[in-house]
């Protein structure tokens, strides 16, 4: 981690890549930081910045923006398989974002890709069904050497065209939910993440001593190894308490917000309490609250919830006391209505 936090509120942050990039951008924008890829704009890194999940897709954006290198075939598609072309105005807008960036936060997600066998060029994601051509389109795992080469290419491009910027690489903790390989997706995911992590580590070892503005932030390790329940019930999306702690740690070490070790420790304590599941009802309630508001703030929600529960407990105690008195009164009335030993009704007439 950096010796001291250095990212200012006015710094221009470019954050995109895998799905986890959305959590990063949302959190930093939520605490007041200028995440330019979260703003409105025409660029693809703004429109679908959390959908560029492989090293080729991310590298393509830098090659396109800075060197006007565009694919020779249609490769870029949105969430609904809509085509994203190679419009020159969008390229120029992307170049401007990259030129002005103070910090790049790039999140890599998986190593499985679809490609055009005639050109070797890689798609953002799977080939849309209506575009698929079995004679032309292929599937492969991007192995270590190719992964490292693309990561190095991304690094070199940033250092060539924006040499003063800070670069932060992260690995998404979100696993794949399916694979086109003839193996379990759990097995495929383990290989995919290991390839990316080892290639990032190789690059870090090679350049960090000479480049103090290049970092790896361990979001993957925090979510998967820092908590028992770092992933939610679907075993794919990180639990909110794990995301909140991960991003709080990023804030502590990178952002000049005044986040202290003591404050970060308190956030970790609360995250561990949530992770343990000692109070499932409280856990579910906090989860519901956190899903409805941004940025995430577990400690505040816990305090509010505890206060509300205290009021609710007092209300219930009052209701119970009233109910006890009511039952006592009814019992007394029943006693008066009981027949006397002489068989006469001693209750008072209405």
Looking at residue 103, what DSSP letter applies?
A: E
Q: Are 112 and 180 in contact (CB under 8 A)?
A: yes
CB 27 within 8 A of CB 53: no
Class of domain 1-217: alpha beta
Q: To which H or E segment does residue 309 belong?
A: helix 298-337
**3-state SS, residue 214:** strand
Question: Does this model's pTM top 0.75?
Answer: yes
Could you list the mean pLDDT of each consecutive 10-residue stretch along the chain, which spans 350 residues? Answer: 92 90 86 88 90 94 97 90 93 97 96 94 91 93 97 98 97 92 94 97 96 96 92 85 93 94 91 74 65 57 61 70 77 64 38
Q: What is the pLDDT of residue 297?
A: 56
Q: What is the DSSP string of 121-167?
A: -B-SSSPPGGG--TTTEEEEE--HHHHHHHHHHHHHHHHHH-TTSEE
Q: How far apart are CA 57 and CA 348, in angstroms?
A: 88
Contact 7, 33 (CB under 8 A): yes
Closest CA to 227 of 246, 252, 202, 206: 246
Write out the two tokens for 275.
Answer: 């992770």
């Amino acid at each position: 981690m950096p010796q001291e936090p250095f990212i200012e509120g006015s710094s221009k942050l470019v954050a995109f890549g895998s799905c986890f990039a959305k959590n990063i951008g949302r959190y930093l924008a939520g605490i007041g930081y200028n995440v330019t890829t979260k703003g409105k704009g025409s660029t693809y890194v703004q429109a679908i910045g959390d959908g560029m999940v492989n090293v080729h897709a991310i590298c393509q954006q830098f090659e396109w923006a800075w060197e006007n290198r565009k694919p020779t075939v249609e490769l870029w598609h949105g969430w609904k398989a809509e085509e994203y072309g190679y419009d020159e105005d969008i390229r120029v807008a992307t170049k401007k974002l990259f030129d002005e960036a103070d910090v790049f936060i790039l999140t890599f997600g998986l190593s499985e890709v679809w490609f055009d066998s005639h050109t070797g060029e890689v798609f953002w994601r799977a080939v849309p069904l209506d575009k698929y051509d079995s004679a032309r389109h292929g599937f492969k795992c991007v192995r270590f050497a190719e992964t490292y080469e693309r990561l190095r290419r991304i690094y070199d491009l940033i250092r060539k065209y924006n040499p003063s910027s800070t670069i932060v690489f992260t690995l998404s903790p979100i696993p794949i939910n399916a694979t086109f390989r003839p193996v379990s997706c759990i097995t495929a995911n383990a290989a995919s993440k290991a390839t990316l992590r080892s290639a990032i580590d190789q690059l870090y070892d090679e350049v960090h001593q000479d480049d103090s503005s290049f970092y790896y932030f361990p979001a993957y390790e925090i979510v998967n190894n820092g908590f028992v329940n770092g992933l939610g019930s679907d075993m794919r999306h990180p639990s909110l308490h794990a995301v909140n702690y991960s991003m709080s740690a990023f804030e502590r070490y990178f952002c000049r917000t005044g986040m202290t070790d003591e404050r970060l420790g308190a956030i970790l304590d609360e995250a561990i309490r949530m992770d343990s599941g000692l109070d499932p009802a409280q856990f579910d309630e906090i989860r519901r609250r956190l899903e409805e508001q941004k940025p995430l703030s577990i400690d505040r929600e816990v305090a509010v919830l505890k206060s509300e529960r205290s009021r609710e407990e007092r209300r219930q105690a009052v209701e119970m006391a009233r109910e006890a008195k009511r039952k006592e009164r009814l019992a007394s009335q029943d006693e008066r209505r009981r027949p006397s030993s002489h068989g006469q009704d001693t209750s008072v007439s209405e």
